Amino acid sequence: MNKILNGRMIFVLTVTALSLIFVWPTVDYFFYARSLPEEPSEEQLAEQRQRIGDSSMIKLGLDLQGGVEFLIALDTERMVQRDLDRLAERMISAFRNEKIEAAVRVDNDRKAIVVSDVSAGDEKLVESIIEDEFQSSLDIGDITKIASGGEAELPILAELRTLNRQQSVDAALKTIRNRVNEFGLTQPVVVKQPPDRILVQIPGETDPERIRNGLLRTANLEFRLLHPDHNTEVRKFIDPATWDNAAGSGVVRDEFLKEIPGEIAGTTIKVVDDEAAAALLPANYSLFLGKEVKIDNAGQRTEVDNLAFVLKSRPELTGDSLRRAQPYTDVNDIDSPHKVLLEFNREGTEKFAEVTTDHTGERFAIVLDGKVYSSPRINEPILYGNCEISGTFTQEEAQDLTLVLKAGSLPAPLQIINEQAIGASLGKDSVIQSGQALIIGAVVLVIMMIIIYQMAGFFAIIAMILNVLLILAILSLANATLTLSGIGGILLTMGMAVDANVLIYERLREELESGKPFRAALNAAFGRAFSVILDSNITTLLPALVLLAFEIAGDSVKGFWTALAIGLIANLYTGLTVTRALIEAYVAKKKTMKVGHFVPFKNANYDFMKYRRVGVVFTSLLVGVSIFYLVVHGVNPGIDFTGGVVATVEASDMEVVTRPAMQKALEGSEADGKFDNVKVVKVLNEDIFQVTVPKKSDGKSLETIREQIEAGLSGAFGEKVKIVSTQSIESVVGSEFKWSAFFMLLVASLVILGYLAFRFRPIYGLGAVAALVHDLLISLGIFVALGHNLTLDIVSALMIILGYSVNDTIVVFDRIRESSSEMYGKSIGEIINYAINKTLSRTVFTSGTTLVAVLSMLLFGGVGLKDFALILLLGIGVGTYSSIFVASAMVYVFIHAKEKREGIVKAQGQRTKTVKIGA
pLDDT digits (tens, 9 = 90+) for 520-576: 888 888 888 888 888 877 877 777 677 666 654 445 556 666 777 788 788 888 888
DSSP classification of residue 334: S
Torsion of CA 80, 82, 87, 91, to 10 degrees: 130
Q: How confident is the model at residue 263 (pLDDT cuts 50, 70, 90)?
A: low
The answer on pLDDT for 2 being more than 60 is: no
Torsion of CA 556, 562, 567, 573, to 10 degrees: 180
Residue 309: predicted pLDDT: 92
The answer on pLDDT for 273 being more than 80 is: yes
The answer on pLDDT for 894 being more than 60 is: yes
Query: Does this model's pTM top 0.85?
Result: no
Average pLDDT over every residue of 844-854: 76
pLDDT tens profile 745-792: 777 778 887 887 787 777 777 888 888 888 888 988 888 888 777 776
Of 463 and 897, more confident = 463
Of 126 and 183, more confident = 126
What rounded mean pLDDT belongs to the chain?
76
Q: Which contacts qualify for 550-553: CB closer than 8 Å, 24 or more apart? A: 550/740, 550/744, 552/733, 552/737, 552/740, 552/741, 552/744, 553/792, 553/795, 553/796
Spacing of C-alpha 454 from chain mean position? 43
Let me know if 650 is exposed, middle or buried by CB neighbors in 10 A (0-12, 13-18, 19+).
middle
Where b means 16+ CB within 10 Å and e means fewer, 711-739 reads ebbbebbeebbebeebbebbbbbeeebee
Q: How confident is the model at residue 366 (pLDDT cuts 50, 70, 90)?
A: confident
Distance CA 557, CA 565 (A): 12
Residue 59: beta bridge partners?
A: 481
Listing DSSP states for 409-433 in one string gives --SS-EEEEEEEEE--TTHHHHHHH
Residue 492: beta bridge partners?
A: none
Spacing of C-alpha 760 from chain mean position? 37
Residue 37: beta bridge partners?
A: none
525: left (phi over 0), alpha (psi -120 to 50) or beta: alpha
Name, of 123-127, 840-844, 862-866, the range with top average pLDDT. 123-127
Nearest to 746 by CA among 890, 886, 546: 546
The answer on pLDDT for 353 being more than 70 is: yes
The answer on pLDDT for 53 being more than 70 is: no
Total residues belonging to the chain: 919
Residue 640: predicted pLDDT: 62
The answer on pLDDT for 907 being more than 50 is: no
The answer on pLDDT for 403 being more than 80 is: no
The answer on pLDDT for 180 being more than 70 is: no
Torsion of CA 349, 354, 359, 364, to 10 degrees: -20
At 388, is the secondary structure helix, strand, or coil? strand
Residue 734: predicted pLDDT: 45
The answer on pLDDT for 915 being more than 50 is: no
Q: Percentage of the chain surpassing pLDDT 70?
A: 75
Nearest to 398 by CA among 475, 325, 496: 325
Average pLDDT over every residue of 510-518: 84
Judged by average pLDDT, the poorest of 276-285, 460-469, 540-549 is 540-549
Around Cβ 901, how many Cβ atoms within 10 Å? 9
Judged by average pLDDT, the poorest of 177-181, 642-646, 661-665, 910-914 is 910-914
Name, of 75-84, 391-400, 449-458, 851-860, the range with top average pLDDT. 449-458
Q: How confident is the model at residue 649 (pLDDT cuts 50, 70, 90)?
A: confident
Residue 862: predicted pLDDT: 60
Around Cβ 35, how many Cβ atoms within 10 Å? 8
Residue 311: predicted pLDDT: 92
Distance CA 263, CA 241 (A): 31
Helices (H), 760-909: 762-785, 792-804, 806-820, 828-838, 840-860, 866-882, 889-901
The answer on pLDDT for 256 being more than 80 is: yes
pLDDT tens profile 328-344: 787 777 667 778 787 88
Q: How confident is the model at residue 906 (pLDDT cuts 50, 70, 90)?
A: very low
Residue 294: predicted pLDDT: 64
Residue 743: predicted pLDDT: 72
Residue 573: predicted pLDDT: 85
Let me know if 887 is exposed, middle or buried by CB neighbors in 10 A (0-12, 13-18, 19+).
buried
Tell me: cis bond preceding 203? Omega within 30 of 0 counts.
no
Helices (H), 255-378: 274-278, 346-358
Sign of the alpha-carbon torsion through 854, 429, 679, 51: negative
Residue 87: predicted pLDDT: 83
Residue 127: predicted pLDDT: 84
Q: How confident is the model at residue 911 (pLDDT cuts 50, 70, 90)?
A: very low
Given a contact cutoff of 8 angstroms between Cβ atoms, the answer to whether 286 and 274 are in contact is yes
Given a contact cutoff of 8 angstroms between Cβ atoms, the answer to whether 241 and 258 are in contact is no
Distance CA 358, CA 362 (A): 9
Of 101 and 696, more confident = 101
- Cα-flanking dihedrals φ and ψ of residue 202, to 5°? -120, 110
Residue 917: predicted pLDDT: 47
Which residues, at least 6 apart from 867, have a Cβ–Cβ distance to it below 8 Å?
A: 783, 788, 789, 791, 793, 794
Distance CA 610, CA 693 (A): 51
Residue 848: predicted pLDDT: 76
Given a contact cutoff of 8 angstroms between Cβ atoms, the answer to whether 619 and 885 are in contact is yes
